[in-house]
Structure 1
């Protein structure tokens, strides 16, 4: 006599299928987050380069005396 229970999907199989469908969205979110992090790193690197260039220009013009006095 054949076992008819094998023809029905198991709860485990259904949960795995559901997890596969739901994790696709998670992968998209992870990729979007990674892309945003890369863009933020690039912006931070550009700001750092700009600051280094500005400081180098100040040093070339006469050192710290060329900087404005700090506000108190």
Structure 2
């Protein structure tokens, strides 16, 4: 499975930088960067914090897709 997120779009909608969102949820800016690029799977606790900060549901933010096995 591949993780895609809408963090970047939702962050922009709220006028937040990666640094600001990171501070709000208690992680480093690099963690937000890796999440946005789909290179990091968050804990449920972190996913909930991000959802609260971005005023969205976890399902709206995080999307798991089947990998293309070509």
TM-score (norm 1): 0.25
Higher strand share: 2
Higher relative contact order (CA 8 A, sep 6+): 2
Higher helix share: 1
Name the larger-Rg structure: 1
TM-score (norm 2): 0.26
